[in-house]
Amino acid sequence: MKSVCLLLCALFALALAESDDRLSCYSCSGKDSGCPEPATLTDLANMDMTYCTGVLATGCTKYSVNYLSGDVYTFRSCAPLIVDEIDGTGLNFCDFITKMYAPLTEGSLVKGVDCYNCTTVNCNT
């Protein structure tokens, strides 16, 4: 019984140590005050944070969709570093987002997409 308790305590301590190493990122989506781009220090202080989890290698990301109307919708969160396609080729997350929006950009429905992916704490400002 004592060995089971020691094992559980060791696993709990390991889990706590591991949780401190998780990558945290700013998290929001929308336009204007919902998820401003660019963000001021005050905006960042009021933004939610999220911890990246999962089996895939993840990083923080920020991408903005620039509409013809002048509106900019920005998304900040965790994202996989590499996105596999059906044919097995891996794209980094920003290349994947750019490829997904390409038909809308080429069709003049969207002005463009800006994307940034990073792997340090709170780097998706």
pLDDT at 87: 67
pLDDT at 54: 78
Domain locations in the chain? Answer: 22-118
Give, in order, the Cα–Cα distances in Å from 111 to each of 34, 68, 73, 75, 122. Answer: 21, 5, 12, 16, 27
Determine the Cα–Cα distance for residues 117 and 78; give it in Å rounded to an integer: 9
CATH class, range 22-118: mainly beta
pLDDT at 122: 87
The two structure tokens encoding residue 88: 């097995």
| Whole-structure pTM value | 0.75
pLDDT at 89: 75
Contact (Cβ atoms closer than 8 angstroms) between residue 24 and residue 50: yes
Local mean pLDDT, 10-residue blocks, the chain (125 residues): 36 38 90 88 93 86 94 94 78 92 93 94 89
pLDDT at 68: 94
